[in-house]
């Protein structure tokens, strides 16, 4: 009998204990731990998202710089003089040779089955900071190739944007084009351009393209390449 009563009391006590629930202190501790874990998880997700955005921006900038450099290099390596009717000497390969713009005759017209030169201009739009490529096709007359006298993109001209945004020298970026003579020395520019008598002495061009939000290394990509000009037959000693 006594044993039965004791068993009955034990069941009642255990039931009351199991239905007691959480105390206020336990609830506060649980909420604090949960909030701490939530803050850690949220911070991790935010940092991971920012890192992903940064990596994607860096990858896009790297691709833009590489593709732009490939195109500029391809055109410059095909730079050639242009024979003109009635002239004893051909026109120099470079129509324009400035710090941030270059116009050149080149034999890289892959869109045509005939062997003909094109005239190509690379320049940076100071407003949009776009690196722009303009291409003119030649007109054949009496065995000579001619081009429009102006450098505006109107007749026989196409234009496209190679990449953006370019970090200009005014914002801390490098000169885009540096012109080298046969010894590898930089040809001085006058008001930002190679003097006309010096244009025929250009044996190579150093191209520096920097793309990004600023000139800082962690917000931009800088590629530099010195391009030889084999078609010009200028003997280089360096």
Q: pLDDT in tens for each of the 238 residues of the chain? A: 445 545 654 654 555 555 555 677 777 777 787 777 777 777 766 676 666 666 677 788 899 999 999 999 999 999 999 998 888 889 999 999 999 999 999 998 666 566 789 999 999 999 999 999 999 998 888 889 999 888 888 878 999 999 999 999 988 999 999 999 999 999 999 999 999 989 989 999 999 999 998 888 778 899 999 999 998 877 666 6
pLDDT value at position 227?
95
pTM, 2 dp:
0.77
pLDDT value at position 149?
86
pLDDT value at position 70?
96
pLDDT value at position 22?
63
pLDDT value at position 5?
44
pLDDT value at position 41?
77
pLDDT value at position 7?
61
3-state secondary structure the chain: CHHHHHHHHHHHHHHHHHCCCCCHHHHHHHHHHHHHHHHHHHHHHHHHHHHHHHHHHHHHHHHHHHHHHHHHHHHHHCECCECCCCCCCCECCEEEEECCEEEEEECCCCCCCCCCCEEEEEEECCCCCCEEEEEEECEEECCEEECCCCCCCCCCEEEEEEECCECCHHHCCCCCEEEECCCCCECCEECCEECHHHHHHCCEEEEEEEEECCCCHHHEEEEEEEEECHHHCCCCCC
pLDDT value at position 238?
66
pLDDT value at position 217?
78
pLDDT value at position 86?
86
């Amino acid at each position: 009998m006594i044993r039965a009563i004791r068993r009955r009391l034990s069941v009642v006590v255990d039931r009351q204990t199991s239905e007691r629930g959480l105390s206020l202190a336990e609830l506060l501790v649980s909420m604090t731990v949960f909030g701490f874990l939530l803050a850690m998880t949220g911070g991790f997700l935010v940092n991971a998202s920012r890192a992903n955005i940064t990596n994607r921006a860096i990858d896009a900038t790297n691709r833009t710089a590489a593709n732009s450099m490939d195109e500029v290099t391809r055109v410059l390596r095909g730079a050639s003089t242009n024979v003109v009717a009635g002239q004893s000497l051909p026109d120099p390969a470079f129509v324009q040779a400035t710090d941030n713009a270059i116009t050149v005759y080149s034999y890289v017209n892959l869109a045509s089955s005939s062997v003909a030169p094109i005239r190509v201009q690379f320049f940076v739009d100071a407003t949009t900071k776009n690196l722009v490529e303009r291409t003119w096709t030649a007109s054949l007359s009496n065995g000579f190739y001619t081009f429009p006298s102006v450098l505006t993109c109107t007749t026989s001209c196409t234009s496209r944007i190679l990449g953006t945004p370019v970090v200009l020298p005014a914002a801390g970026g490098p000169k885009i084009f540096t012109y080298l003579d046969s010894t590898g020395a930089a040809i001085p520019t006058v008001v930002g351009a190679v003097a006309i008598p010096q244009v025929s002495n250009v044996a190579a061009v150093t191209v520096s393209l920097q793309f990004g939000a600023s000139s800082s290394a962690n917000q931009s990509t800088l590629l530099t390449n010195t391009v030889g000009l084999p078609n010009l037959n200028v003997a280089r000693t360096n």
